[in-house]
Chains A and B, each alone.
Chain A
Amino acid sequence: MKLLVCVSKTPDTTTKISFANNDTEFNTQGVQYIMNPYDEWYALVRALELKEAAGGTVTTINVGPAANDTVIRKGLAIGADDAIRVDAPENCSTYYVAKQIAEQAKAGGYDVVFFGKETIDYNGAQIGAMVAEMLDMPFISYATKMDVAGNTATISRDIEGGQEVVEVDTPFAISAAKGLAEQRIPNMRGIMMAKRKPLNVVPPVDVTEKVSVASYALPPAKKECHYIDAEDMDKLVELLHSEAKVI
């Protein structure tokens, strides 16, 4: 099978967040980037497992500047065969990214296009659905288990308050949630080999942006913690009832 895995970079959760240019831009100075965990731990690893079981190729795709190559090389070190980077500026919209991925996916004729369920910075969860629509493919979101026999996949997915099992034929798009695979740590051999694997840089197609960032703000400061004597739980119950009004 020909598998495409979309990988994005995201600031590490422990990063300090600040803004530039009159609060209209995210300040990337000193930000530590990682591969989005849903892309790396679940989507990429499940794609590799399918390839190992039944043959085929695993290609990763990223839309962004050359600085993203570190994250892309990590994907190659974990085991992807080759990578595509659509050369684009840092802060493009989800629609812009989806359009670039759809163009490349169309040209490549992939059987399955993998996404993480969302990125952990903007939590948009939009790109998978957008690409699926652009490619007119079924989209199976929040997948926690995926088995493939011939051209048919059986997939468990998270739904409100439970799980659903669906069957779908290739080609289709899927978004990965926790459970789809187990994280793999790249080994030395993988890291060495990754340096020689193809990373193809391609130009973007033109897109008219529909959504832009007007400004960023920090959330209002949290008020001080109100400490309550561990002996006096009646007091806590009283405060939850009359002050916080939650019980």
Chain B
Amino acid sequence: MILVYTSSPEGQLKKSAFEAVTYGYKAAQAMGTEVVALTIGNVDNAGVLGQYGASKVLNAAGADSFDSGVHAAVIAKVAEQVGASVVVMPDDSTGKSLLGRVAVRLDAGAVSGVKSLPDTSAGFAVKKNVFSGKAIVDFNISSDKKVLSIAGNTFPPEVVGGDVAVEAAGVDVPASRVRVKEVNTVKGTVPLPEAELVVSAGRGMKDPGNWGIIDELAGHLGATTACSRPVADVGWRPHHEHVGQTGVAIRPNLYIAIGISGAIQHLAGVNQSKTIVVINKDPEAPFFKAADYGIVGDLFEVVPRLNEAIKKFKAAN
């Protein structure tokens, strides 16, 4: 059996949950077994996980705020109850806070940020990116039980069935030792780690007052905005927009880099993007080496032109 834990911030299942179930389903097909999905706390519409291949959806009520200790205990108990040999979770901040705990509880080998289905031809091997995307490592897990967190935007959700009824997990939820005082989430925009389209700008913008053209571009595309580190450090942009080795690591479908040189520490957080567009006036900017599409030009001319072109495209499509 494969158990998939799906995180549900504020009671909502997100794309990462559907991706994890899709991964679990594909692995289960290859291994000749089935998928049980587990949600914890109050979750809207959890039965929808059946559509992505869960043959059973369990809910453990009574742990509405996040405590890695409580959640790991519940996941491990359910894993034992359903006889799971593999536990899968999203590689988001929730999954990463849990993976190690669940592994210790189950005496399982764990790999985070997995980007391949398990290769079971000789043992159990999975791949992940390491060294800022400069290498791929193939890990072999030799323990009976395995715990994996799945890299985001890597396994697109696939509908393979219909909703299933949600059943109570029937495990005790231990008391939490963490008191949650406040939860503040940004409303209205897709958070960076989940964004499929990202528009990012750097020091080439010259002044925080110039970001209007960036916001306009993001608005036309329905994209989330990001920035390089120096721009966040001087307070031109909020810290949560900082991408790179020391900021958020993202892998959107489209990353548009505007007035960013493409230093290796910046690339470390964005080079897994599927398509990269670079707009820079310096033809020697290192970012062009990582780009799919490059535009050598002054961003203050190119970006307004791009805005017009996208407006025209959106109106026609």
On whether the beta carbons of A164 and B180 are closer than 8 Å, the reply is: yes
Given A161-B9, A230-B295, are A246 and B274 neighbors across the interface (CB < 8 Å)?
yes
CA A236 – CA B306 in complex, angstroms? 8
A1-21 interface with B by 8 A CB criterion: 11, 13-15, 17, 19
**Contacting residues, chain A, for B139 (C-beta < 8 A):** 211-214
The 5 closest A-B pairs by CB, nearest first: A129-B100, A230-B297, A161-B191, A210-B109, A162-B185
Cβ B68 vs Cβ A178 within 8 A: no
Contact A167 B264 (CB under 8 A): no
Partner of B292, one of A138, A226, A229: A226
A206 touches B (CB below 8 Å): no
Interface residues of B in 181-232 (CB under 8 A from A): 181-186, 190-191, 193-194, 196-197, 221
Residues in B with CB closer than 8 Å to A231 are 305
Contact (Cβ within 8 A) B309 A141 = no
**In the complex, what's the smallest C-beta–C-beta distance from A45 to chain B, in angstroms?**
14
Interface: A200 (CB within 8 A): no
Tell whether A209 is near chain B: CB-to-CB under 8 Å: yes
Do the beta carbons of A227 and B294 come within 8 Å of each other? Answer: yes
Comparing A52-60, A61-69, A117-125, the segment that makes contact with chain B is A117-125
Contacts of A121 in B (CB 8 A): 130-131
Contacts of A161 in B (CB 8 A): 9, 185-186, 190-191, 194
Chain A residues positioned under 8 Å from B99 (CB to CB):
125-126, 129
Query: Within 8 Å CB of B134, what residues of A?
Result: 17, 218-219
Q: Is the CB of B113 closer than 8 A to any CB of chain A? A: yes
Q: List 11 A-B contacts (CB under 8 A).
A: A15-B131, A38-B246, A98-B100, A125-B96, A126-B96, A126-B112, A129-B99, A160-B93, A161-B185, A225-B289, A225-B293
In the assembled complex, A87 has its CB within 8 A of some CB on chain B: no
B240 smallest CB distance to A (angstroms): 8
Q: Are B180 and A166 in contact (CB under 8 A)?
A: yes
A110-146 toward B: CB 8 Å interface, digit per residue (1/0)? 0000000010111111111111111011111110000
Shortest C-beta distance, A121 to chain B (Å), equals: 6
Q: In the complex the two chains form, is B131's CB within 8 Å of A227's CB?
A: no
Residues of B within 8 A of A (CB): 7, 9, 14, 66-69, 72, 92-94, 96-101, 103-105, 107-113, 125, 129-143, 177-186, 190-191, 193-194, 196-197, 221, 239-240, 242, 245-247, 249, 253-254, 264-265, 268, 274-275, 277-278, 288-298, 301-302, 305-306, 308-310, 312-313, 317
A225 to B254, Cβ gap below 8 A?
no
Expressed in whole angstroms, the Cα–Cα distance for A32 and B160 within the complex equals: 48
A142-B289 contact, Cβ under 8 Å, with A234-B312, A240-B254? no
| Residues of B contacting A244 in the complex (Cβ-Cβ under 8 angstroms) | 254, 274-275, 292-293
Report A197-240 CB contacts with B as 1/0, cut-off 8 Å.
00000000000011111111111001101111111011011111
A residues less than 8 Å from B103 (CB atoms):
95, 126, 130
- In the complex the two chains form, what is the Cα distance from A221 to B261 in whole Å? 21
Q: Which residues of B contact A234 (CB under 8 A)?
A: 309, 312-313
Whether A158 sits at the interface, judged by CB under 8 Å, is yes
Chain A residue numbers with a CB within 8 Å of B136 are 216-219
Which of chain A's residues have a CB closer than 8 A to the CB of B113? 123-124
Contacts of B288 in A (CB 8 A): 225
A28 at the interface (CB under 8 A from B): no
Q: Confirm or deny: A168 has a beta carbon within 8 angstroms of a beta carbon on chain B.
A: yes
Cβ-defined contact, A133 with B100, below 8 A: yes
Whether the Cβ atoms of A127 and B100 lie closer than 8 Å is: yes
* Contact status of A141 and B184, CB under 8 A, knowing A167-B179, A246-B275: no
Docked Cα-Cα span, A163 to B312, in Å, equals: 38
Q: Are B135 and A218 in contact (CB under 8 A)?
A: yes
Query: Smallest distance from the beta carbon of B308 to chain A beta carbons, Å?
Result: 7
Residue of B nearest to A213 (CB): B137
Question: Once the chains are docked, how many angstroms separate the CA of A130 from the CA of B306?
Answer: 48
Q: Assess whether B313 is in contact with A169, with CB atoms less than 8 Å apart.
A: no
A15 neighbours in B (Cβ, 8 Å): 131
Given A127-B100, A165-B180, A212-B140, the answer on whether A178 and B290 have CB atoms closer than 8 Å is no
A104 at the interface (CB under 8 A from B): no
Which residues of A lie under 8 Å from residue B294 when comparing CB positions?
225-228
Min CB distance, B47 to chain A, in Å?
22
A149 at the interface (CB under 8 A from B): no
Distance (whole angstroms) from the CB of A88 to the closest CB of chain B: 18
A241 interface residue, CB < 8 Å from B? yes
**A233 contacts across to B, CB distance below 8 A:** 295, 302, 305-306, 308-309
Measured in the bound complex, the distance between the Cα atoms of B308 and A131 in whole Å is 53
Chain A residues whose C-beta falls within 8 Å of the C-beta of B309 in the assembled complex: 233-234, 236-237
* A211 and B278 alpha carbons, distance in the complex (Å): 39
